[in-house]
Structure 1
Amino acid sequence: MTESPADRSNSRSGNRRTPPARNGRGESPVTRETVLKAALEIVDRDGVESLSMRRLAEAVGRDPMVIYRHVANKAAVLDGIAEIIFAQLAVDPSAPDWATELRSVANDFRRLALAHPRVVPLLVTRPLATPLGLRSPAVIRPLEDILALLTGAGFAGADALHIYRMVFGFLYGHVLNELQEMVERAEETDEVLRLGLHRLPIGQFPLIRELAPVLASYDGASELERGLDILLTGLAATIPRHG
């Protein structure tokens, strides 16, 4: 079969991505979703500090003024990135077992955090930097659904809010801790050397040096489950339910 010019062109293009649909002026349509997705890709790849409106405009292939039609400023972009991640966090407010559902939500949040480690600081700080009523519905939806889950399980509204704050306070701390770089020299077999603990004065930190094997073998999934066991058991035992 004779290869057509189009076939030869496709063959030369290799694995190049198919260009997106374009509007009547030959330009790809730009939406808020397009802008935020490009911003997330930049942060995932290079970190929050590498994100700028100019670089975002270059990633979208537009003049910066086009970007400003969809997001007011960089702060709005950062809020939007957090919104994308929180929109993937599903809570079933009608789940029959509140503790099991919160455990599932916690594990889902950890999964999202590990998939987007450079976004985690935004997930922890951006919602807190915005008044509750000004946050995106996607960001406050987990709060509403968890409150519905807990009040449906018999907790008073104020107690439900307390449980939410306790669980997410623990969860934020856990993912930040898990994502910290703990190993200095991965090729070392001695845990003290791997963690760089040989730099510490021997006589001043004996317990930390003693726990070097435990520190070096940190298991985020197991640590999360153990923390949830303690937290959820304690909450169930100390906060009364009605009905």
Structure 2
Amino acid sequence: MKDKPAQGPRGLDKDAIVAAALALLEDVGEAAFSVRKLAQSVGCDPMSVLYHFKSKDGLSRAIANALSRSLVPVDDAQPWRERLRDLARQYRALALRHPAAFALLQRHMSTGPADLAHIEAVHRALVDAGIPRAALPSVCVGWYASVIGLAAAEAGGLTRPANDVELEEMNALSDTEHPLVRSAAPLYAQLDPEIVHDTMLDVLLDGIAKRAHAT
């Protein structure tokens, strides 16, 4: 029998509040987001929201865990590299769908039960790669920092093609002092975010394999 969603004052559904918070965060951005605005959007007072989450940080963690819950578990039958690649690409897609909320994933080592299930899968992949158990936390956190940071950078616009202003600055550089950057300007103009992501993911996975073989 399926558990009923947790309810508090006035029958508020915790999952419904999280869904409303996610929508509001994407609509107004983090700077303008507040518990008061969230309470207004669901028709209650701020204290009713805090009844479920205790604090704004608790609400932040719940929103981040909702994002983690939307990820599809990786297939353990696949090679370790493909498992990590699959999960990394899912994080990229998640960042592009929810750029404002995605930033919350950078603030919590774990966001809750849904996140811990994916962390377990990353641990299994790293063990299969040959990473020693004592090094698992460092490599796991480093993998997440790299993957989430790369996805967040794309969502924020860092890995897009260089714009006219940036290209003008590159082309104005001295051939003597900055020859490599100046000559690469046409390549920056054609930068493809997906290629950036996949290239750096290969670099990361190759690094994990090298680390495993060195132990």
Aligned residue number for residue 104 of structure 2? 122
Q: Distance in 1 between matches of 2:163 and 2:92?
A: 28
Contact kept? 1:31, 1:70, Cα under 8 Å: no
Which residues of structure 1 form unaligned runs of 5+?
Answer: 1-26
SS at 2:48's partner residue? helix
31-40 or 206-215: bigger deviation: 206-215
Aligned residue number for residue 223 of structure 1? 196
TM-superposed CA distance for 1:179, in Å, is: 2.6
Contact kept? 2:170, 2:182, Cα under 8 Å: no
Selected match of 2:33 from 51, 59, 84:
51
Selected match of 2:61 from 79, 85, 93:
79
Query: Which of 1 and 2 has greater Rg?
Result: 1
Q: How does 1:13-32 map to 2 (within 5 A)?
A: 29-32=11-14
Q: Which amino acid aligns with 1:169?
A: A
Q: Distance in 2 between matches of 1:227 and 1:152?
A: 21
Aligned residue number for residue 207 of structure 2? 234
Instruction: From the superposition, tell whether residues 102 and 192 of structure 1 become closer, same or farther in structure 2 (CA, over 3 Å).
Output: closer
TM-superposed CA distance for 1:137, in Å, is: 1.7
Contact kept? 1:43, 1:119, Cα under 8 Å: yes
Which residues of structure 2 form unaligned runs of 5+?
Answer: 1-9
Aligned residue number for residue 3 of structure 2? none
Q: Which amino acid aligns with 1:180?
A: G
What is the TM-score normalised by the length of structure 2? 0.79
Selected match of 1:208 from 181, 184, 189:
181
The answer to whether residue 133 in structure 2 is matched with residue 157 in structure 1 is: yes
TM-superposed CA distance for 1:61, in Å, is: 1.0
Instruction: From the superposition, tell whether residues 226 and 202 of structure 1 become closer, same or farther in structure 2 (CA, over 3 Å).
Output: closer
Q: How many corresponding residue pairs?
A: 204
35-44 or 220-229: bigger deviation: 220-229
Q: Which amino acid aligns with 1:214?
A: L
Q: How does 1:137-148 map to 2 (within 5 A)?
A: 137-148=113-124
Q: Distance in 2 between matches of 1:182 and 1:163?
A: 25
Q: Distance in 2 between matches of 1:148 and 1:95?
A: 11
TM-superposed CA distance for 1:200, in Å, is: 9.2
What is the TM-score normalised by the length of structure 1? 0.71
Instruction: From the superposition, tell whether residues 192 and 136 of structure 1 become closer, same or farther in structure 2 (CA, over 3 Å).
Output: closer
TM-superposed CA distance for 1:108, in Å, is: 0.5
Q: How does 1:168-183 map to 2 (within 5 A)?
A: 168-181=144-157
Selected match of 1:95 from 63, 66, 77:
77
Instruction: From the superposition, tell whether residues 55 and 109 of structure 1 become closer, same or farther in structure 2 (CA, over 3 Å).
Output: same
TM-superposed CA distance for 1:228, in Å, is: 1.9
TM-superposed CA distance for 1:34, in Å, is: 1.2
Q: Which amino acid aligns with 2:59?
A: V
Q: Distance in 2 between matches of 1:80 and 1:113?
A: 17
TM-superposed CA distance for 1:233, in Å, is: 2.4
TM-superposed CA distance for 1:194, in Å, is: 4.4
Aligned residue number for residue 64 of structure 1? 46
Task: State, as a whole percentage, how many aligned pairs show the same letter.
Answer: 26
Aligned-residue Cα RMSD (Å) equals 3.1
Instruction: From the superposition, tell whether residues 87 and 174 of structure 1 become closer, same or farther in structure 2 (CA, over 3 Å).
Output: same
